[in-house]
Amino acid sequence: MSWYTAHILTIITFLPLLGAVVIAFLGRERTASIRWVALLLSLLTFLISVCLYWRFDPQRAGMQFSEFVPWMIIPPVNYHLGVDGLSSLMVLLTAFLTPLCVLLSWNSITSRSKEFFMFLLVLETGSLGVFVSLDLLLFFGFWEVMLIPMYFLIGIWGHERRVYAAIKFVLFTMVGSSLMLVGIIFLYNLTGSFDFPRVLDHLAGLSVMSPQAERWLFLAFFIAFAIKVPLFPFHTWLPDAHVEAPSAGSVILAGVLLKMGTYGMLRFCLPLFPGASREFAPVVCVLAIVGIIYGALVAMVQPDLKKLVAYSSVAHMGFCVLGIFVFQPEAMEGAIYQIFSHGVSTGALFMLVGMLYERRHTRLISEFGGLATSVPVYSTFFLIVTLSSLGLPLLNGFVGEFLIIVGSFHAQAAYAAFAAAGVVLAAVYLLWMYQRVFYGEITNDKNRALPDCDFREKLILAVVVIVIIAMGVYPQPFLRRMDGTVNSLILRIERHSTVITDRRELGVGNRKLGVEAGYPIPHSQSPTPTPPQPTAHCLLPASSPGGGR
């Protein structure tokens, strides 16, 4: 294996940081070179991550491109990186959005652009680090460190209430993550390791953790991620952060940072605590559905375009969480697909709103009307992105939502019914918004002479729209790469409930005996999965894994 392939994850993760260091040495007044360095480095990162995704072997379950370097002795933190079907997609998404954000901020950031691009690149390194770390403490480190550049992006270049929004964002996240840190240390004391695969191995022995402890640990991790997603009762920081952030900040926030929540659930909550995940699944699903409906209803009445998009994020992320917690292979794949496609479409919506704001310095829907005649190119792009966000077939949003609804129908028809209602509501608020902003007569004279998209903006939007259409028409390359990961996850959860069932049938009270009787939990996909038995313990009727599409 060449040096390049062996260290591809390190290269991807730290290239942006290298860019930030280079920018640090450039003079404050050399704005042009600062922008170009930022653009080139983030583009290079994107190209390498495309290579990574291309080379990713869909046939193999488990981690690929692993890197392992021993680091600290106490705590035994190791520099352990690796990607599977889930994280490689997240890496691709992050690397895709950052160069677009650099382009988006090309002219709009006028003050202190040096710091802006530095923070943007540091943020990219932090986010990539979160997705590729396989060491719990390393993961936590990236997770926390990433808050600092985001804090500054909102706090320095945001709008009027930026300081309040920035600190609210940081404090919300930190409350969650400090609980997670307790959970991580507890797990470490239990298993003696921070290495994620090793912790997973340890926990496979059922005797390690009492159900009580598992429940608390699940909650410690889950709340941290739920705040990030954000799941319904924890969402209040999101509208503030989104509205106050500069456009690029909103794009990264919606496109990358929210994804860390769902990523964390898939990566840590489900495989580490399969029992507790099953136990809490009904509650989580209901919260997700409440989020879908609530987000849609609140979005409908927003007078501010950006707030509308922010609340639509709450609804869309509700779909992702629902897809994860119904434990159906197709729903889970749909959720992962939706995570990616939400990043692209909502990111694009924020870009579009940002472009409009640059022209008019307002985002109030009532200020607009009839824009389709004054800025036709812009309106067309906006329409395509809106349609993708509301889930029109042949565009990216449809694939994920469809899979999620199909999957949740298998699990619980009521979930599917409510989620489908959410899709309808999405159409209502998005189309109504589009109609008010773009159709009809031009009522406000300021809107008559608006300049249409320039080359830079067309470039950004064209790239996004191509991706939107490609993902809608031909999702297979993406879905194929998740198969292994999703199946082994589902299997792990279902196996867990099988073990408990068998143990109960045998009348074995002691958890230890269950392990000795030979029911280890598989870490990778086994060729013939045993169909799980529905029990009172697992509240969801389970279908055989892999039988989805």
Partner 1 sequence: MITLQSLDMMRILPEIVLSVFAVFIMVLEPFVGDAHKKLLGWTALLGVLVAGVSITQLSSRPWPGMGSAFGGAVAADEFSSYFILLFLFVSALVILGSMDYLERDHEQHGEFYALVLLGTVGMCFMAASTDLIMIFLGLEISSIATYVLAGYRRGDRLSNEASLKYFLLGSFATAFFLYGIAFVYGLTGTTNLLGASARLGTAAEWTAFARFALILMFVGLAFKLSTAPFQIWAPDVYQGAPAPVTAFLSVGPKAAAFAVLLRVFLGSFSSASAFTFWVLWISAALTMCVGNLGALWQSNVKRLLAYSSIAHAGYVLVGVTAGGSRGISAVMYYLVAYALMNVGAFILIAYLAGAGERLVQVDDYKGLASTRPVVAACLAVLLLSLAGFPATAGFLGKFYLFRAAIHSHLIGLTILALLNSVVSVFYYFKIIVAMYIQEGKTETSEAAVPWPVRAALAICVAGVFYLGLAPNTFVGLSTLATMPLLK
Distance CA 138, CA 67 (A): 13
- Exactly one of 5, 107, 110, 178 binds partner 1 (CB under 8 A); that residue is 178
Interface with partner 1, residue 76, by CB under 8 A: no
- Exactly one of 18, 22, 51, 174 binds partner 1 (CB under 8 A); that residue is 174
- Exactly one of 10, 22, 50, 75 binds partner 1 (CB under 8 A); that residue is 75
Interface with partner 1, residue 540, by CB under 8 A: no
Q: Which is nearer to partner 1, 124 or 144 (CB)?
A: 144
- Exactly one of 102, 170, 296, 305 binds partner 1 (CB under 8 A); that residue is 170
Beta strands in 36-116 (DSSP E): 64-70, 78-83
Residue 222, both tokens = 């889950």
Secondary structure of residue 528 in the 3-state scheme: coil
- Exactly one of 6, 21, 47, 175 binds partner 1 (CB under 8 A); that residue is 175
Q: Which stretch binds partner 1 (CB under 8 A): 168-176, 285-293, 350-358, 498-506?
A: 168-176
Q: Which stretch binds partner 1 (CB under 8 A): 139-147, 451-459, 517-525, 533-541?
A: 139-147
- Smallest gap, in angstroms, from Cβ of residue 506 to partner 1? 33
- Smallest gap, in angstroms, from Cβ of residue 86 to partner 1? 23
Q: Which residue has the tokens 């990961």?
A: 485
Q: CA separation (Å) from 356 to 162, 229, 298, 338, 380?
A: 20, 27, 22, 26, 14
Question: Could you say which residues in the range 93-132 bind partner 1, by CB under 8 A?
Answer: 112, 115
Radius of gyration of the chain (CA): 23
Q: Dihedral, CA atoms, 242, 224, 93, 168, nearest 10 degrees? A: 20
- Exactly one of 21, 72, 413, 466 binds partner 1 (CB under 8 A); that residue is 72
- Smallest gap, in angstroms, from Cβ of residue 279 to partner 1? 21
Interface with partner 1, residue 392, by CB under 8 A: no
Interface with partner 1, residue 59, by CB under 8 A: no
Q: Which is nearer to partner 1, 165 or 335 (CB)?
A: 165
Number of residues that bind partner 1 (CB under 8 A): 32
| 230: preceding bond cis by omega (within 30 degrees) | yes
DSSP states of 357-417: HHHHS--BGGG---HHHH-HHHHHHHHHHHHHHHT-TTSHHHHHHHHHHHHHHHH-HHHHH
Interface with partner 1, residue 149, by CB under 8 A: no
Q: Provide the total of helices (H) and of strands (E) in the chain, helices listed first.
A: 24, 2
- Exactly one of 22, 51, 145, 463 binds partner 1 (CB under 8 A); that residue is 145
Interface with partner 1, residue 22, by CB under 8 A: no
Contact indicator for 261, 229 with CB cutoff of 8 Å: yes
Contact indicator for 415, 322 with CB cutoff of 8 Å: yes
> Which residue in 62, 69, 97, 98 sits closest to 83, CA to CA?
62
Residue 93, both tokens = 């998404």
Distance CA 414, CA 398 (A): 20
Residue 190, both tokens = 């239990």
Interface with partner 1, residue 457, by CB under 8 A: no
- Smallest gap, in angstroms, from Cβ of residue 163 to partner 1? 6
Binding mask 180-219 for partner 1 (x = CB under 8 A): -xx--xx-xx------------------------------
Q: Which stretch binds partner 1 (CB under 8 A): 179-187, 275-283, 324-332, 451-459?
A: 179-187
Q: Which stretch binds partner 1 (CB under 8 A): 83-91, 173-181, 449-457, 528-536?
A: 173-181
Q: Which residue has the tokens 């870490």?
A: 523
Q: Which residue has the tokens 């996909």?
A: 525
- Exactly one of 16, 155, 354, 422 binds partner 1 (CB under 8 A); that residue is 155
> Which residue in 309, 280, 148, 144 sits closest to 214, CA to CA?
280
Q: Quick one: DSSP state of residue 549?
A: -
Backbone phi, psi, residue 61, to 5°: -80, 165
- Exactly one of 40, 163, 286, 513 binds partner 1 (CB under 8 A); that residue is 163
DSSP states of 173-186: HHHHHHHHHHHHHH
Interface with partner 1, residue 141, by CB under 8 A: yes
- Exactly one of 21, 47, 171, 413 binds partner 1 (CB under 8 A); that residue is 171
Interface with partner 1, residue 297, by CB under 8 A: no
- Exactly one of 179, 320, 399, 540 binds partner 1 (CB under 8 A); that residue is 179
Q: Which is nearer to partner 1, 219 or 290 (CB)?
A: 219
Interface with partner 1, residue 79, by CB under 8 A: no
Contact indicator for 389, 312 with CB cutoff of 8 Å: yes
Interface with partner 1, residue 21, by CB under 8 A: no
Interface with partner 1, residue 327, by CB under 8 A: no
Secondary structure of the chain: what % helix, strand, coil (to 5)?
Answer: 75, 5, 20
Interface with partner 1, residue 69, by CB under 8 A: no
Question: Could you say which residues in the range 234-273 bind partner 1, by CB under 8 A?
Answer: none
Distance CA 182, CA 180 (A): 5
Interface with partner 1, residue 14, by CB under 8 A: no
DSSP states of 115-130: HHHHHHHHHHHHHHHH
Binding site for partner 1 (CB under 8 A): 72-75, 112, 115, 137, 140-142, 144-145, 148, 151-152, 155-156, 162-163, 167, 170-171, 174-175, 178-179, 181-182, 185-186, 188-189
